[in-house]
């Protein structure tokens, strides 16, 4: 036998409580961490953007001041008779160039073959000497990072380049951050349009502006992906005059980004970046910070929150143990009372005064015991009523079963779906000789009362057919007789709608009467081969059955053709509602018949139900759904005369055939059959006597 471990309630309670607290704390912590992370990210992005704006504004202003000084200085340098010395800088009121200008070269590009020739060169000897930079620095810069003079566009304006180099001498290594400006000659005067001016500056002034933020790393990058300026000289030298190895390069090539905040992965490290237009030609400014560095304070908060949560859970566990012990003592009393009720003692005594839900449960136990007594009595009564309802359902299904008959002259396909246990619709078909009688009735409402009315109608139909086996009553007479029965049975309290149709399968003559029922639909056979088929409603007036004992019913006679299809249906089909409150309607049924006129009756039956079900959607079925499809396939042969049990003599046969259209040959055949039947009966009697 499998051992089942029993766990005391207090431990279960403790486990559930701790699990709930832990889950709640974890959920709160996760949501809070996510919210704080998003808030921190937005804060860092906004801070980076502020730093970036400041850096861009400062670098743009500083670079503009250098360009303004060059605009004053370059024409003087270009003059052949100008002698450059420190006094020239003072005369021109130049503040920055004396300490940052490495040199200037003037190249002329031939319009014919685009060849370049150096026409003038200036070196700032004072600066080179003060910084211990060799005079050959300009040649070294050009040697390591040749300026793209051949591709320079005069219409494009000033071009900025990073040509930082590392100068290695016998004694030391000198890193030099160089910013090169390619300036068109018209910057000097209109006579120098084919001249390209190359200005090399020490870009320490830009690096200082970019290094102002202690958290963010700020740099300038061109749209083509070359690093222009950076706070680190080593980084400038490593990426001098080449594509910068950074994910931001692909974004710059893909589209125009005047300003954007994004998150990138650089060397397996997540970075928060801001990008904006620097205002310099084809240049963007980027500020970035490591995500781990930006979220350092959040990590500290995370650790402190975890410690606090563990402390709270520990206190909750201690309090839960104390509370669970008190709770389980009262629960034991409830368990004992439940066992007493289970044994049949419906008067349990519970002395629980806890001023909480447990005390209310104890009171409910006592109330429950009293109610159980009542329920036991009510259960017996309900079981009896359920048994009677089930018996009624069986009786109704037995009464409403349709007698099947086989005939290749006509095809019948019924459909029935009740809305409750006992339905309120009834249909039947009866073939007597060449005459097919079909009826479809719908009692008021559904359920047991409607089922009683349908049972009465079914019984009456069987009775009337048994009384007239060879010559069934015409539709209007049948409705008249059935109306009197229902009125006398239901005393005008319950009603029924009914349509009765008789078809002569030999001639196609159809007679129909209606007692307040929906008009049947007749689909004419398509014999012309056209797409249009005629579908008409067979309307005739008539009062509902059971409304008045003296109700009179009309009949209408029409002619149908081979292949015609008849649809008889109850209002459960036409008055089916969709979720918007609209009814299915007769027009929809006509469309189905016209659309499926060439299909078999089974296919039409299934298509009608599919369309009604799809139309209703999720709306509950409020009424029984019943419809019958009838199709006349072929003419039935004229049936030979069948005498009843009372028609046993030749004289009676002669009286009967006077009003018929049988031929003499058919009458002789009937005489011979009767004589054979008489001889057979005579022989049988002699055998019994022997």
- pLDDT tens-digit series, residues 210-255: 888 777 889 999 888 889 999 888 989 888 888 888 888 888 876 6
Instruction: Name the residue among 484, 425, 427, 416 with its Cα closest to residue 450.
Output: 425
The bridge status of strand 101-109 relative to strand 195-202 is antiparallel
What number of other Cβ atoms are within 10 A of residue 594's Cβ? 15
- Mean pLDDT, range 565-570, rounded to an integer: 94
The residue ranking higher by pLDDT, 313 or 390, is 313
SS3 223: coil
**Among candidate residues 261, 294, 327, the one where a domain is terminated:** 294
- Mean pLDDT, range 134-150, rounded to an integer: 88
Contact at 8 Å (CB) between 427 and 439?
yes
- Mean pLDDT, range 597-603, rounded to an integer: 89
Tell me, yes or no, whether 610 and 659 share the same domain.
no
Tell me, yes or no, whether 619 and 659 share the same domain.
no
CATH of the domain at 559: 3.60.40.10
Residue 171: is its pLDDT beyond 70? no
* Exposed/middle/buried for residue 527 (C-beta within 10 Å: 0-12, 13-18, 19+): exposed
Task: Kindly give, in sequence order, each residue whose CB lies less than 8 Å from that of residue 217, ignoring residues fewer than 6 positions away.
Answer: 231, 287, 288, 289
Q: In angstroms, what CA-CA distances link 478 with 481, 491, 554?
A: 5, 19, 11
The number of folded domains in the chain is: 3
Tell me, yes or no, whether 287 and 416 share the same domain.
no
Residue 187 counted as domain residue: yes
Distance CA 638, CA 556 (A): 24
**Among candidate residues 632, 649, 665, the one where a domain is terminated:** 632
Tell me, yes or no, whether 98 and 157 share the same domain.
yes
Residue 320 counted as domain residue: no
- Please list the residues that pair with 417 across neighbouring strands: 625
Contact at 8 Å (CB) between 162 and 229?
yes
Tell me, yes or no, whether 573 and 672 share the same domain.
no
Mean pLDDT of all residues in the chain? 80
Tell me, yes or no, whether 545 and 660 share the same domain.
no
Residue 613: is its pLDDT beyond 90? yes
Residue 264 counted as domain residue: yes
Distance CA 606, CA 592 (A): 11
Residue 591 counted as domain residue: yes
The bridge status of strand 195-202 relative to strand 178-184 is antiparallel
The residue ranking higher by pLDDT, 587 or 301, is 587
Choice among 172-176, 280-284, 587-591 with the minimum mean pLDDT: 172-176
Tell me, yes or no, whether 264 and 282 share the same domain.
yes
**Among candidate residues 632, 650, 666, the one where a domain is terminated:** 632
Q: How much is the pLDDT for 646? A: 35
Residue 243 counted as domain residue: yes
Residue 323 counted as domain residue: no
Q: How much is the pLDDT for 116? A: 86
Confidence category of residue 689, pLDDT binned at 50, 70, 90: very low
Contact at 8 Å (CB) between 443 and 496?
yes
Tell me, yes or no, whether 256 and 280 share the same domain.
yes
Instruction: Name the residue among 304, 287, 166 with its Cα closest to residue 236.
Output: 166
SS3 554: coil
- Mean pLDDT, range 461-477, rounded to an integer: 79
Q: How much is the pLDDT for 582? A: 93
Residue 10: is its pLDDT beyond 80? no
Tell me, yes or no, whether 541 and 587 share the same domain.
yes
Q: Which long-range contacts (CB under 8 A, 24 or more apart) does 312-321 make?
A: 312/21, 312/25, 313/18, 313/21, 313/22, 313/25, 316/17, 316/18, 316/21, 317/14, 317/18, 320/13, 320/14, 320/17, 320/18, 321/10, 321/14
Distance CA 608, CA 594 (A): 12
Host domain of residue 140: 48-294
Residue 259 counted as domain residue: yes
Residue 88: is its pLDDT beyond 90? no
Tell me, yes or no, whether 541 and 672 share the same domain.
no
324-374 pLDDT, tens digit each: 776 677 777 777 777 777 777 767 767 777 677 777 777 777 777 777 777
Tell me, yes or no, whether 168 and 255 share the same domain.
yes
Distance CA 318, CA 14 (A): 10
Q: Which range, 240-249, 292-301, 358-367, 395-404, has the best average confidence (pLDDT)?
A: 240-249
Tell me, yes or no, whether 593 and 618 share the same domain.
yes
Residue 114 counted as domain residue: yes
Buried b (16+ CB within 10 A) or exposed e, 291-310: beebbeeeeeeeeebeeebe
Distance CA 33, CA 15 (A): 26
């Amino acid at each position: 036998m499998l051992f089942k471990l029993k766990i005391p309630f207090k431990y279960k309670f403790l486990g559930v409580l701790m699990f709930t607290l832990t889950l709640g704390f974890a959920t709160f912590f996760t949501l809070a961490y996510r919210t704080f992370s998003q808030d921190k990210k937005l804060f860092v992005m906004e801070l980076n953007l502020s730093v970036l704006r400041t850096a861009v504004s400062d670098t743009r202003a500083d670079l503009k001041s250098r360009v303004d000084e060059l605009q004053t200085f370059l024409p003087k340098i270009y003059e052949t008779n100008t002698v450059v010395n420190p006094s020239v800088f003072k005369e021109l009121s130049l503040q920055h160039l004396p300490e940052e200008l490495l040199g200037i070269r003037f190249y002329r590009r031939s319009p014919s073959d685009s060849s370049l020739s150096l026409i003038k060169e200036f070196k700032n000897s004072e600066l080179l000497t003060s910084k211990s930079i060799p005079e050959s620095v300009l040649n070294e810069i050009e040697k390591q990072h040749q300026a793209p003079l051949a591709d320079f566009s005069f219409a494009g304006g000033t071009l900025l380049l990073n040509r930082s180099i590392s100068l290695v001498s016998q004694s030391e290594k000198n890193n030099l951050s160089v910013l090169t400006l390619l300036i068109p000659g018209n910057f000097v005067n209109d006579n120098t349009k084919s001249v390209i001016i190359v200005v090399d500056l020490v870009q320490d002034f830009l690096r200082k502006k970019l290094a102002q933020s202690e958290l963010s790393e700020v740099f300038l990058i061109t749209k083509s992906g070359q690093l222009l300026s950076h706070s680190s000289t080593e980084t400038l030298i490593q990426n001098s005059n080449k594509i910068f190895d950074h994910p931001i390069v692909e974004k710059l090539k893909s589209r125009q980004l005047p300003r954007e905040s994004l998150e990138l992965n650089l060397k397996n490290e997540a970075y928060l970046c801001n990008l904006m237009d620097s205002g310099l030609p084809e240049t963007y400014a980027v500020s970035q910070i490591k995500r781990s560095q930006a979220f350092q304070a959040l990590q500290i908060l995370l650790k402190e929150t975890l410690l606090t949560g563990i402390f709270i859970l520990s206190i909750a566990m201690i309090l839960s143990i104390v509370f669970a012990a008190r709770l389980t003592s009262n629960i034991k009393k409830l368990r004992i009372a439940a066992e007493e009720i289970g044994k049949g003692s419906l008067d349990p005594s519970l002395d629980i005064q806890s001023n909480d839900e447990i005390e209310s449960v104890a009171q409910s136990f006592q109330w429950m015991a009293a109610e159980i007594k009542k329920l036991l009595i009510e259960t017996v009564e309900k079981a009896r009523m359920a048994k009677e309802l089930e018996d009624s359902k069986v009786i109704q299904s037995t009464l409403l079963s349709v007698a099947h008959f086989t005939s290749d002259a006509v095809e019948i396909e019924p459909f029935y779906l009740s809305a409750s246990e006992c339905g309120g619709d009834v249909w039947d078909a009866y073939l007597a000789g060449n005459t097919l009688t079909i009826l479809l009735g719908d009692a008021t409402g559904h359920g047991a009362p409607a089922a009683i009315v349908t049972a009465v109608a079914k019984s009456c139909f069987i009775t009337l057919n048994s009384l007239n086996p060879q010559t069934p009553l015409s539709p209007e007479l049948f409705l008249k007789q059935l109306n009197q029965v229902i009125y006398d049975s239901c005393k005008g309290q319950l009603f029924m709608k009914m349509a009765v149709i008789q078809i002569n399968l030999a001639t196609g003559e159809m007679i129909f009467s209606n007692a307040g029922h929906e008009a049947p639909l007749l689909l004419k056979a398509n014999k012309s081969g056209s797409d249009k088929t005629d579908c008409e409603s067979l309307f005739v007036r008539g009062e509902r059955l059971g409304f008045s004992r003296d109700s009179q019913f009309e009949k209408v006679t029409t002619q149908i053709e081979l292949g015609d299809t008849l649809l008889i249906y109850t209002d459960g089909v036409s008055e089916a509602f969709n979720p918007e409150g609209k009814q299915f309607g007769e027009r929809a049924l006509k469309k189905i018949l016209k659309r499926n006129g060439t299909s078999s009756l089974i296919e039409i039956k299934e298509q009608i139900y599919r369309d009604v079900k799809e139309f209703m959607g999720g709306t509950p079925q409020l009424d029984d759904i019943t419809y019958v499809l009838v199709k006349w396939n072929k003419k039935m042969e004229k049936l030979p005369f069948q005498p009843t049990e009372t028609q046993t003599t030749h004289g009676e046969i002669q009286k009967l055939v006077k009003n018929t259209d049988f031929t003499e040959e058919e009458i002789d055949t009937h005489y011979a059959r009767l004589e054979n039947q008489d001889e057979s009966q005579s022989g049988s009697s002699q055998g019994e006597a022997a």
